[in-house]
Structure 1
Amino acid sequence: MVTSFTGAYGSLAKLQVEDFLNLTRMTALADAASSGSSVSVASLNAAAGSVIADLTGNADAYPQIAIAEDPAGTDDREANGRYAFQTMMDMGAYPMVAAMFTITAMTMGSFSGARVRRRMYASPQRTGSMLFQQFACCGLFGVLVSLFYLALALALPVAAGLPITGVDPRGFLLCALTMVAYSLTAAASGFMVSMIAVNSAAINAIANVYGLVIMFTSGMAFPVDLMPKVMIVIGKCTPGWWFCRSISAAMNSEGTVSVSNWFPGIALVLLFGVAFIALGLALSQMRRLRPNLAAPASTQLAEV
């Protein structure tokens, strides 16, 4: 089946031809009944001429089809714009955690070399303070990235020609807070892994596996109704699930904002971040207690 935007013109022309033939048939039958003769080719030609003469100049004979304005058209466009914004926000669960996890782990992992650690530990500054300063820099970068992604989420419906007037300002503010908190939690997970002192290849592998688990279990890739219970249980053990629940509470399809449903989700996202930081500090303490911070053995040639 082949269709196009101009396919309706062919259907309308077919209807007009069928109407003309029906009118010709009825006119020919009426003339034959009034004259008592049978229908012939000549009477059909005369009936066709009579129909053409009657329809000529009659603007209502074949009225033009027009599309009436839909009273709910504006509301539908606003709902589509709101849905595009919410979808874009939900889809940020994977790229945000993958990016901030990798950036934070590799940035803080650059300080985990034995020589770098010896120089840092020899300074008069406390180790915990230095770790928090490093994490603060990565967290600030995560906030900037989340705000940039928020701007992209708003630009998507605008680029598609949809209005953003359907996005509630309160819901937009809650979505912004959710994205910022989620970026900090993603940075905290990278901070935790960086304390293990793994290489860049392992960091990339962990980031992709962790991000894919969040993508397939948070509800951003599949509707929650279609997910098996095992995936839902796994999803609830990750911050991505509660991130998507907070976004849904702040910006749902009806355009309403539910702060009572939003707050538990964002609180759990932040609790995941606190847990990641606590585990990272514990791993850092264990690493400082290892006896391998001494300089590697080397052979020095004595001059005679």
Structure 2
Amino acid sequence: MNTCKAAMRILKARKLYVIIYLVLIGTMMFSISWQIMRGSSTAGASTYEPKSARIAVIDRDNDADHVAESLRSYLALDGEMVDIDDDSVSLQQAVASNYVDLIAIVPEGFAEHYLQYVDGGTDAQPTIDTVVSYASGAGSLAQLEVNEFLSLTRTSYLGLPQSQRELGTAMTTVLDVANDDTKQSHIAVVSSSFEDESTAMLGTSAFAGTIKTGLYPLLLVMPICTFLVVSTFNDSEIRRRLYSSPARTVSLESQQMLTCGAFGLLVCVAYIAVTFLLMMLAGVSFDGLTIINVGLAFVSLLTYTFMAIACGFLLGSTGFNEMATNGFANVFALLVMFTSGMAFPVDMMPDPMILIGKLLPGWWLCSSIDYAFGLGTASSHGVDYGMWACDTGLVALFAAAFICLGLALGRIHRARPTLASPATTQLVR
């Protein structure tokens, strides 16, 4: 127990690695999963919700006959209204930076000229100046709404009795009708007979994809934390003191690995809990998730974590220094991530990349999760517990290989003559 307590104190003293490699990088990976969940959760909507345009209305007619105010109210039904200053610099910056999708400018004297037009006093129809952002399709649609508002206003104006014809009254009528249509009219999305299956697939793919993202931060933090513990106990001064004690070397190393394993178990439990929390916040359904497939995914992640701990044990037993271990962990974790099928779809990866991936544990972690849920590389086979066991067993074999190499190389490292205490006296001739 004293060895376990000492190992915990070592991890606590070097908590900066946990914060950087686990918390910060884990947060980055969760953020990616969060964006994917939010994007996929809208796929099951019952109505079509188009992207709203950001619109600014510039009034240079002093709101004559409430034209500018009515136009803002009409455009606000489908867009997001923003305010910008009416000067050339502000207008140019708003369009160049894509801050707005559409700028509608009511020119001076527009209300008077438009009233003459609808009364038949002139054939020249006045227009509202518009500027559409170069990168916005929503702005082009909003521009059509400006023309639609003017057309509907003219139709409503001509439909009023001669004695009641006022431009403000006609615009109010148009706004009332538009408000009623907005509340009652929606573009329905026809649900297919596979809606329930699609919902279940959405939940399982979100859960499985988020669990796969754990392979990168876990392969960073667990080897380094394990290395810190093992290398500290393998320090020459500490090792000589431990050898002088009645405790056996196997017992000391077992307690060190037990402490790191308990830490890895807590990390895996936390990763699963945060995954469920993200799904809940993103509104992703839990349909398709069962105790069996969630449990199998947890076992796969835990086995992978133990493999990462075994890798750290190998690094700590062979006498690597801290800088070399950091460099190796970062390069190895990136290599595993980009060849595992988590970062890129497998059908987009070149054959040499797939071949390298199959020689590394990350590929078999992702494959085991796919077989637990019937996704990705297992989509053509479906759920297969036998293949899941084989893939998880391969990850466990990586862990066993790292442990065996660590024990063998550690024995060689301990047998070096550097274990001898430095000379404290010298002969003087």
**TM-score, normalized by length of structure 2?**
0.56
Q: Output the CA distance in 2 between the equivalents of 1:230 and 1:219.
A: 13
* Structure 2 residue 269 is the aligned partner of structure 1 residue 143: no
Alpha-carbon deviation of 1:197?
A: 1.6
Superposition pairs for residues 237-276 of structure 1, below 5 Å? 237-253=359-375, 257-276=383-402
Corresponding pairs, count: 270
Alpha-carbon deviation of 1:288?
A: 2.2
Q: Output the CA distance in 1 between the equivalents of 2:199 and 2:351.
A: 35
Partner in structure 2 of residue 110 of structure 1 = 232
Q: Output the CA distance in 1 between the equivalents of 2:149 and 2:52.
A: 22
Q: Output the CA distance in 2 between the equivalents of 1:134 and 1:168.
A: 35
Could you report, residue by residue, the CA deviation over 1:227-277 in whole angstroms, capped at 9, with x for unpaired residues? 112111111111111001011111244996321221111000001100100
Partner in structure 1 of residue 213 of structure 2 = 91
Q: Output the CA distance in 2 between the equivalents of 1:91 and 1:210.
A: 15
Could you report, residue by residue, the CA deviation over 1:190-247 in whole angstroms, capped at 9, with x for unpaired residues? 0011011222111111110110110111111111111112111111111111001011
Q: Output the CA distance in 1 between the equivalents of 2:243 and 2:160.
A: 105
Superposition pairs for residues 54-69 of structure 1, below 5 Å? 64-68=184-188
* Structure 2 residue 287 is the aligned partner of structure 1 residue 161: no
- Contact 1:85–1:156 at 8 Å: present in 2 too? no
Aligned amino acid, residue 358 of structure 2: K
- Contact 2:314–2:406 at 8 Å: present in 1 too? yes
* Structure 2 residue 343 is the aligned partner of structure 1 residue 221: yes
Q: Output the CA distance in 1 between the equivalents of 2:355 and 2:300.
A: 22
Query: Greater Rg, structure 1 or structure 2?
Result: 1
Query: Which of these residues, 288, 298, 302, is aligned with residue 424 of structure 2?
Result: 298
Aligned amino acid, residue 284 of structure 2: L
Aligned amino acid, residue 218 of structure 1: S
Deviates more, 1:161-170 or 1:130-139: 161-170
- 2:211 match: secondary structure: helix
Q: Output the CA distance in 2 between the equivalents of 1:253 and 1:284.
A: 41
Query: Which of these residues, 222, 225, 231, is aligned with residue 100 of structure 1?
Result: 222
- Contact 1:86–1:252 at 8 Å: present in 2 too? no
Q: Output the CA distance in 2 between the equivalents of 1:258 and 1:3.
A: 47
- 1:295 match: secondary structure: coil
Partner in structure 2 of residue 210 of structure 1 = 332
- Contact 1:246–1:266 at 8 Å: present in 2 too? yes
Q: Output the CA distance in 1 between the equivalents of 2:160 and 2:261.
A: 84
- 2:418 match: secondary structure: coil
Aligned amino acid, residue 291 of structure 1: P
- Contact 1:84–1:156 at 8 Å: present in 2 too? no
Q: Output the CA distance in 2 between the equivalents of 1:14 and 1:166.
A: 48
Partner in structure 2 of residue 36 of structure 1 = none
Structure 2: which 5+ residue stretches go unaligned?
Answer: 1-50, 55-77, 80-137, 162-172
Partner in structure 2 of residue 278 of structure 1 = 404
Q: Output the CA distance in 2 between the equivalents of 1:3 and 1:221.
A: 33
Aligned amino acid, residue 296 of structure 1: P
> RMSD between aligned alpha carbons?
3.4
Structure 1: which 5+ residue stretches go unaligned?
Answer: 24-44, 51-55
Query: Which of these residues, 122, 132, 146, is aligned with residue 244 of structure 2?
Result: 122
Aligned amino acid, residue 240 of structure 2: R
- Contact 2:336–2:360 at 8 Å: present in 1 too? yes
Partner in structure 1 of residue 23 of structure 2 = none
Alpha-carbon deviation of 1:13?
A: 9.0
Cα 1:219–1:155 change in 2 (3 A) is: same
Cα 1:135–1:15 change in 2 (3 A) is: same
- Contact 1:170–1:257 at 8 Å: present in 2 too? no
Q: Output the CA distance in 2 between the equivalents of 1:206 and 1:142.
A: 20
Aligned amino acid, residue 245 of structure 2: S
Query: Which of these residues, 179, 185, 188, is aligned with residue 307 of structure 2?
Result: 185
Alpha-carbon deviation of 1:70?
A: 5.0
* Structure 2 residue 297 is the aligned partner of structure 1 residue 175: yes
**Higher relative contact order, structure no. (Cα contacts within 8 Å, ≥ 6 residues apart):** 1
Superposition pairs for residues 60-79 of structure 1, below 5 Å? 64-68=184-188, 71=191, 76-79=198-201
Q: Output the CA distance in 2 between the equivalents of 1:167 and 1:10.
A: 46
Q: Quick one: percent identity of the two aligned structures?
A: 37
Q: Output the CA distance in 2 between the equivalents of 1:172 and 1:67.
A: 37
Aligned amino acid, residue 233 of structure 1: L
Partner in structure 2 of residue 28 of structure 1 = none
Q: Output the CA distance in 2 between the equivalents of 1:167 and 1:9.
A: 42
- Contact 1:106–1:203 at 8 Å: present in 2 too? no
Q: Output the CA distance in 2 between the equivalents of 1:168 and 1:247.
A: 14
